[in-house]
Chain A
């Protein structure tokens, strides 16, 4: 009898300290839990409040998750140019790459070897112009994630925001999610079948 090994779906939100990637991951994790998944959310950050590489991961699965980390991510949401090169090799083959095009000007050419599913949206600009402050760019990103992938449903994101954001910012954050959601058209489906790689990465 083969033992069941739960292989969760995974999202990494990477940026620099202060961009709100941990809050975004927290809200995504809460939303996914409301959707009925088992969720693990972890993070890595430096000692400084602003700057320095910082990322937060969300893993979700229909069963309890044993190992709380993963080698490759199905979605990489990149908030800042300085971290794109660092984490690109952690994106799964044909995974979805979300990019804030205001913060990331140059995309390394090697991305073509990994995926063609690149969603590039001027998130900071949308946040500044439509939600009132560039700070809400992380929520615009979650809106983009909700529309461009089948990871999370928008209404659960909005509910999660109500629980985790200070009251005076709830409206603006929700608006940012809506604007992000409306800024993209295409939806990519993630693989639902469990990957179990005996063949290495890039094998075709």
Chain B
């Protein structure tokens, strides 16, 4: 049991990042993510880190990539409108295999939308926001305590896979304050960067293909030299126009995530073993969903909750396993059905498929989810 404190979601994100070893933050303030920046501006200088407020989100994203290549763990945080501006740089980070964490505290969209209200409309932007086929890791916690623990994981994934990690939150999760039990230091695992001593060669070959298609740990620029570019490149990092090199590079980038998806995919389940109806919800909506599932269970309805924590890569494999005993699905989300569509790829042949979708900028209530569960259940039990 750790110490109990009252912590805001955004504060937990910033403090967790620092715990994970983040020592560079560049950003541009935007509601509802500004508190992350505020805490970073206060805390980073105290521990020898660097904080910069950049002129906009494009520059912020570029700055964190630069800092990461120079050898420091780096993060930026924004909300929907800023996340749109960062997309170009996210593609660059994918192509140059630079470990960075992008936090997106989602608000109602599109455009400037609902600045102080929650939304979950950036799920597909997190996957396909930048152009081209690219590997993506996106995580989405649902309580403040989980924000703290998961942001540390996000940094570890970024380092291990040398890929940008998109850390999704929403306005509710960002602004809510709640009692948190911080994990004791012994429980926290952080991956550290390869130190200068470990890498002695003058020239670092950053894009070598390893046998198990995992990324080689990034060396620090300065002591060693290497070239990075957004163009298709060979192992050394210099641009090459050959079709073979292009095919090989892009396949490797995708395989890096695809072949190791089992390690990346995190999810949480509640009473799914004997469930016939599966409720799928994530982020703060999952908290309404768990209440709804408990209420339905108390009324004798065989229902369970599946909460994806890793949104991308999507946990298709686990959902396919659940097909054995699940015959109906309810998906609840604060968008027009972005995850519901992914879920339907697994459950499209099931008889009842309900989507509880809300765009008003208010949290979905347990009774709305309960209503959908009831509807499905009464259809199922009808003679």
B366 close to chain A: CB less than 8 A: yes
- Most-contacted residue by chain A among B115, B179, B291 (CB, 10 A): B179
Nearest CB to that of A30 among chain B residues? B6
Nearest CB to that of B5 among chain A residues? A33
What residues of chain B lie closer than 8 Å to A29, measured between beta carbons? 6, 177
B176 touching A41, Cβ below 8 Å: yes
The list of the 5 closest CB pairs from A to B, nearest first, reads A67-B291, A41-B177, A3-B294, A40-B178, A38-B179
A69 close to chain B: CB less than 8 A: yes
Q: Given the complex of chains A and B, what is the CA–CA distance between A88 and B179 in angstroms?
A: 28
What residues of chain A lie closer than 8 Å to B193, measured between beta carbons? none
Q: Given the complex of chains A and B, what is the CA–CA distance between A98 and B59 in angstroms?
A: 49
Q: Given the known A-B contacts A40-B176, A40-B178, are A47 and B295 also in contact in the complex, defined by CB atoms under 8 Å?
A: no
Q: Given the complex of chains A and B, what is the CA–CA distance between A44 and B118 in angstroms?
A: 10
Q: Kindly supply a per-residue 1/0 record for chain B positions 233-247, scoring 1 wherever the CB is within 8 Å of any chain A CB and 0 otherwise.
A: 000000000000000
Question: From DSSP, what is the main secondary structure of chain A's interface residues?
Answer: loop
What residues of chain B lie closer than 8 Å to A71, measured between beta carbons? 365
Instruction: Say how far B117's CB is from chain A's closest CB, in angstroms.
Output: 8
What residues of chain A lie closer than 8 Å to B287, measured between beta carbons? 66-68
Nearest CB to that of A64 among chain B residues? B179
Q: A4-B294, A66-B290 are in contact. List 11 more A-B contacts (CB 8 A).
A: A3-B294, A30-B6, A33-B4, A33-B5, A42-B172, A45-B116, A64-B179, A67-B287, A67-B288, A68-B284, A69-B288
Q: Given the complex of chains A and B, what is the CA–CA distance between A46 and B298 in angstroms?
A: 38
A33 touching B6, Cβ below 8 Å: yes
**Which residues of A does B touch, CB under 8 Å?**
2-5, 26, 29-30, 33, 37-47, 64-69, 71
**Which residues of B does A touch, CB under 8 Å?**
4-6, 31, 115-117, 172, 175-179, 284, 287-288, 290-291, 294-295, 297-298, 363, 365-366
A5 touching B172, Cβ below 8 Å: no
Q: Given the complex of chains A and B, what is the CA–CA distance between A46 and B361 in angstroms?
A: 12
Instruction: Say how far B292's CB is from chain A's closest CB, in angstroms.
Output: 9
Q: Given the complex of chains A and B, what is the CA–CA distance between A47 and B114 in angstroms?
A: 9
B176 touching A42, Cβ below 8 Å: yes
Q: Given the complex of chains A and B, what is the CA–CA distance between A29 and B179 in angstroms?
A: 9
What residues of chain B lie closer than 8 Å to A46, measured between beta carbons? 116
A5 touching B291, Cβ below 8 Å: yes
Instruction: Say how far A193's CB is from chain B's closest CB, in angstroms.
Output: 17
- Most-contacted residue by chain A among B31, B115, B178, B365 (CB, 10 A): B178
Cβ 8 A contact of B175, one of A2, A38, A43 = A43
What residues of chain B lie closer than 8 Å to A39, measured between beta carbons? 6, 177-179
B178 touching A5, Cβ below 8 Å: no
A-B contact list, 27 entries, CB within 8 Å: A3-B294, A3-B298, A4-B294, A5-B291, A5-B298, A33-B6, A38-B178, A39-B6, A39-B179, A40-B176, A40-B178, A40-B179, A41-B6, A41-B178, A42-B176, A43-B175, A44-B117, A46-B116, A47-B115, A47-B116, A64-B179, A65-B178, A66-B294, A67-B366, A68-B172, A68-B284, A69-B365
A44 touching B178, Cβ below 8 Å: no
What residues of chain A lie closer than 8 Å to B115, measured between beta carbons? 47
What residues of chain A lie closer than 8 Å to B284, measured between beta carbons? 68
What residues of chain A lie closer than 8 Å to B175, measured between beta carbons? 42-43
Nearest CB to that of A25 among chain B residues? B177
Nearest CB to that of B177 among chain A residues? A41
What residues of chain B lie closer than 8 Å to A5, measured between beta carbons? 291, 294-295, 298
What residues of chain B lie closer than 8 Å to A44, measured between beta carbons? 116-117
What residues of chain A lie closer than 8 Å to B176, measured between beta carbons? 40-42, 68
What residues of chain A lie closer than 8 Å to B298, measured between beta carbons? 2-3, 5
What residues of chain A lie closer than 8 Å to B116, measured between beta carbons? 44-47
What residues of chain B lie closer than 8 Å to A64, measured between beta carbons? 179
B31 touching A47, Cβ below 8 Å: yes
What residues of chain B lie closer than 8 Å to A41, measured between beta carbons? 6, 176-178
Instruction: Say how far A74's CB is from chain B's closest CB, in angstroms.
Output: 18
Q: Given the complex of chains A and B, what is the CA–CA distance between A76 and B349 in angstroms?
A: 48
Q: Given the complex of chains A and B, what is the CA–CA distance between A41 and B253 in angstroms?
A: 42
